[in-house]
Amino acid sequence: MGSLGDFEFPQSNALLNIAGRASNDNPLDPEEFRRQGHMVIDFIADYYKNIEKYPVLSQVEPGYLKKRLPTSAPFYPESIETILGDVQDHIVPGITHWQSPNYFAYFPSSGSIAGFLGEMLATGFNVVGFNWMSSPAATELESIVMDWLGQMLRLPKSFLFSGNGGGVLQGTTCEAILCTLVAARDRTLRIIGNDNIGKLVVYCSDQTHCAFKKAAQIAGINPNNFRVIPTTLSSSFSMCPKALRNTITADVEAGLVPIFLLATVGTTSTTAVDPLGPLCDVAKDYGMWVHVDAAYAGSICICPEFRHFIDGVEGADSFSFNAHKWFFTTLDCCCLWVKDPSALTQSLSTDPEYLKNKATESKQVVDYKDWQLALSRRFRSLKLWLVLRSYGVEKLRGFLRSHVKMAKVFQGFVEADNRFEVVVPRNFANVCFRISPSTVMTKSSNGVLGEITNSNDISSPRTKTKMGMVNEVNQKLMESINGSGGIYMTHSVVGGIYLLRFAVGATLTQESHVIEAWNVVKQHAHAILNSIPTTQ
């Protein structure tokens, strides 16, 4: 402890740190705030400057931090210098560096200066904006910015405040899904009665984010009534409207009540896109609520050439994307629009005496507490406002396009190397690839090439074994790459295929990083392929 501090203590909480005490008598003293604030700005600026020196994926072992920190809180104050020293020495090694330009895992968590500054301002004001009156600017800026952003996405006017819908900032897509699901559930229960909650059915595909299953669980939907429509490689893992209709029909015939469809634009594993128009048509026939989860891919729909991916959204009831994923706004910031805000507020409103006020009674204001799960809420719109203004529409499009371009460069490398294959067509800035089955089979001298290449048939035991081998090799490749710390990627398994995901989108990533990442992939693939026994 305290390696960068002025003093060295045998135990951090054993002795009195005089410097710390003197500066901490007023915990919001403006001049001390200034001094320490500047210090931390420099700390973070230096972190970004040096970020490539750290292994992207933290290489610590479980329990590492317990060995380094005291077993109880200090009794006396410690100085900011001491604490920052500990952050550097003990926290940074345990961080997986999502801001690293060599981060290609999951989906990006794309920070920016503007997003950071917006968060600082929100933290500085530290208002609790549950209703309009608790800080009018927090509510009004959010409504304005959500209309701005809705326009940028060319959402139908019915989703905007200017069209009697409206937008709200949630923490995460999980919350957005839960809120809309509860609204849909209660809309139906108000008609058929609360006793029929066990009859309600919800729908998604096998590629839908796990957040939906969890939301359904939380909302008390009977787990037996959670329908998962299978997808296939041949349709790039997008949901089939006909399969959906068949499933719904069977449920209705069984006396169940379909209430909610979750459609995805840009699934987590492969960025697959569900066909919104045809799916909404099916849902409409049964009076179901459709939520469109565009958590990852929503951002890029501000570019006209990508807007078609959300065509059909006009038939949906709600739409969300995460500005904290691929829109330069720090975690957390999920943008949710709904056509019928009253459906949300009928489920989520509270009206205790201690929150009553004239503005609410006037019905001239939005009280966002009634659009979300929690009461308290942070001033999240500030960071989104700063991102939109600091970069502007043109530059934001440019940033996103540059990520797609880099993903195309990587895709080109994969396609040009016959040891590899792209598993599904790339839609956005994520490339799903693997060492191809033929490469693995050739190396293993099994001599039955071609038989399983590009096959999605996992039914025969023989194929299973071969697919298992191919998957194993690719899993080894992935673990080998991530263990090196040089770059970080994650995997998925779709249709039985283990694939590597190369998701471009970290703010600091440049083409040189992508080129170097490909070199890393090739080196590790080379080593792994050479280690395959040549006789089976």
> Scanning residues 482 to 501, which ones bind a second copy (CB under 8 A)?
490-493, 501
Candidates 169-177, 258-266, 303-311, 465-473; binding stretch for a second copy (CB under 8 A) = 169-177
* Least distance between a second copy and beta carbon 449 (Å): 27
Cα 186 → chain centroid: 27
Say whether residue 394 binds a second copy (CB under 8 A).
Answer: yes
Residues 6+ apart with CB under 8 A from 510: 101, 406
Say whether residue 60 binds a second copy (CB under 8 A).
Answer: yes
Say whether residue 389 binds a second copy (CB under 8 A).
Answer: yes
Candidates 249-257, 306-314, 371-379, 416-424; binding stretch for a second copy (CB under 8 A) = 371-379
DSSP 8-state code for residue 423? S
Residues 6+ apart with CB under 8 A from 332: 171, 172, 324, 380
Among positions 9-28, residues that touch a second copy (CB under 8 A) are: 12-13, 20-21, 24, 26-28
Say whether residue 42 binds a second copy (CB under 8 A).
Answer: yes
Candidates 41-49, 408-416, 455-463, 521-529; binding stretch for a second copy (CB under 8 A) = 41-49
The CA-atom distances, in angstroms, between 450 and each of 228, 420, 434, 437 are: 32, 14, 16, 8
Q: 140 near 167, Cβ under 8 Å?
A: no
Candidates 231-239, 308-316, 378-386, 452-460; binding stretch for a second copy (CB under 8 A) = 378-386
- By beta-carbon proximity to a second copy, the closer residue of 32 and 311 is 32
- By beta-carbon proximity to a second copy, the closer residue of 130 and 203 is 130
Q: 82 near 70, Cβ under 8 Å?
A: no
Among 76, 246, 468, 512, interactor with a second copy by CB under 8 A:
76
Q: Across-strand partners of 321?
A: 335
- By beta-carbon proximity to a second copy, the closer residue of 8 and 394 is 394
Give the total residue count for the chain: 536
Among positions 80-119, residues that touch a second copy (CB under 8 A) are: 80, 82-83, 87, 90-99, 106, 109, 111-117, 119
How far apart are alpha carbons 211 and 171 in whole angstroms? 13
Q: 357 near 303, Cβ under 8 Å?
A: no
* C-beta neighbour count of 195 within 10 angstroms: 8
- By beta-carbon proximity to a second copy, the closer residue of 54 and 420 is 54
- By beta-carbon proximity to a second copy, the closer residue of 137 and 422 is 137
Among 55, 77, 312, 486, interactor with a second copy by CB under 8 A:
77
How far apart are alpha carbons 48 and 51 in whole angstroms? 5
Among 187, 227, 339, 378, interactor with a second copy by CB under 8 A:
378
Among 11, 164, 217, 531, interactor with a second copy by CB under 8 A:
217
Look up residue 370 and give its two tokens: 């009634």
* Least distance between a second copy and beta carbon 224 (Å): 7
How far apart are alpha carbons 126 and 122 in whole angstroms? 6
Q: What does residue 28 show for φ and ψ, rounded to 5 degrees?
A: -130, 30
